[in-house]
Structure 1
């Protein structure tokens, strides 16, 4: 099916969903050949149940977060669904802030268990009703949430193995002096076995 034809079909599907799931799904947009739905976070379980049981999107293939710090509700929680019978994908977005939890959908899609833990770990998004909401990718004493836009690139602490103490230690991040790269020659100062080999930038070392 061509892109315009596929976009037309998705547009029809979006309009049908908006009509049938009024109040549960509040927006539908087709872009780049994909249908994105939006809805209120407190009704996300109803929305996903409708998409699974009525529209035939049987699988939750991913759940992720996105951070927009300039918004009052800075986080989007994005649910990616797959219909094996229709060979079609769809996504649903809900928004939240740093303090307001999103209802967990683990009772509807057991696969959401680790996805929601990852969103909590990386973004600090809370999921109400999750059976075991704790970090999944970072360490137990980790501070902050690495995929937030305001999280420092260096992090807050560094972890290393101390040979004297014979254990892992946590220390504040030390500032490092960065090399001032000029991008002219990565080989400057390197010892090479073939004296006759001349590479661009070698003149800088003379």
Structure 2
């Protein structure tokens, strides 16, 4: 079998890549870090199309592998849109991010990669992020008439409506969610990581310290020594029951050899012979 040679290296290193890319992107960069073995570059929202075009055309990141979303409700711009690029010739990946809110759209990158249309639709469906310039921004995963965006942190786990088939109407109907019991929030916090309540037995930890704690700083504090050995040799337990004289005389039954023979049985029977005396044994 012929050996196949490929121009891309088997393993790609990040050495020098972050500095080179950040210098090339210039004023478009907001933050540029390397963590967990990945290069993550945050760029200005309005510059995302120019930044991706520069990486594709001048730095050989040919493929857009994924567009993902993330929700951080505590931030002023709660949403992050993440673009993951792959260089086939370098066998290397890089990640770009932009931030936005519910009302501000992100420029589309369908002008660079047509596949971005489907990926942007997914982020719009799950998070509600708008993409300016996408001419087909429709839901792609949820059903027709779905309300809300399921991947937002404030979206209820049960949703707002439920879908079922109605035997009475002979069709699929939407109804408000009705739970058989109230939603319960279970505590999965590991006690080793620190729970926010008092665990059983931990109330003893609040006991006041002992005034005179017992320590074993000297050999004499341990109780070991010559006196302890002599005391251990003293016999303090009662004797065995067989060694005690209870005063009760119990006669043992006579041996079989001392018993008289029985009278011979009458009739057609065979009786057992008498016991053999010791002097009869040869």
- Under TM normalisation by the shorter chain, which class is it? 0.7 to 0.9
1:127-146 pair list within 5 angstroms = 127-146=131-150
**Residue equivalent to 1:160:** 164
Question: Would you say 1:175 and 2:175 are equivalent positions?
Answer: no
- CA drift of 1:69 comes to 0.2
1:84 paired with 2:88, answer yes
Partner of 2:97 in structure 1? Answer: 93
Assess, with a 3 A threshold, how the Cα gap between structure 1 residues 88 and 179 changes in structure 2: closer, same or farther. Answer: closer
User: Secondary structure of the equivalent of 2:120?
Assistant: helix
Give the structure 1 partner of residue 106 of structure 2: 102
* Structure 2 unaligned blocks of 5 or more: 1-8, 185-282
- 2:49 is matched with 45
Matches within 5 A, 1:38-77: 38-77=42-81
Match of 2:130 among 126, 133, 149: 126
* Cα distance between partner residues in 2 of 1:126 and 1:179: 32
Equivalent residue number for residue 187 of structure 2: none
Contact 1:58 1:84 in 2 (8 A): yes
In the alignment, what sits opposite 2:13? 6
Deviation at 1:27, TM superposition (A): 2.2
**Total equivalences in the alignment:** 175
TM-score of the superposed pair, with normalisation by structure 2: 0.59
Higher relative contact order (CA 8 A, sep 6+): 1
1:111 aligns with 2:118: no
Alignment of 1:18-29 (within 5 A): 18-29=22-33
The alignment partner of 2:70 has SS state of strand
Instruction: Kindly provide the CA deviation profile for residues 79-104 of structure 1, in whole angstroms up to 9, marking residues without a partner as x.
Output: 00000000001100000000000000
Distance 1:56 1:26 in 2: 22
1:179 deviation in Å? 10
Larger radius of gyration: 2
Name the structure with the higher strand share: 1
In structure 1, runs of 5+ residues without a counterpart are: 181-206
Tell me the distance in 1 between the aligned counterparts of 2:48 and 2:60. Answer: 16
For the 8 Å contact 1:6–1:33, the answer to whether it is kept is: no
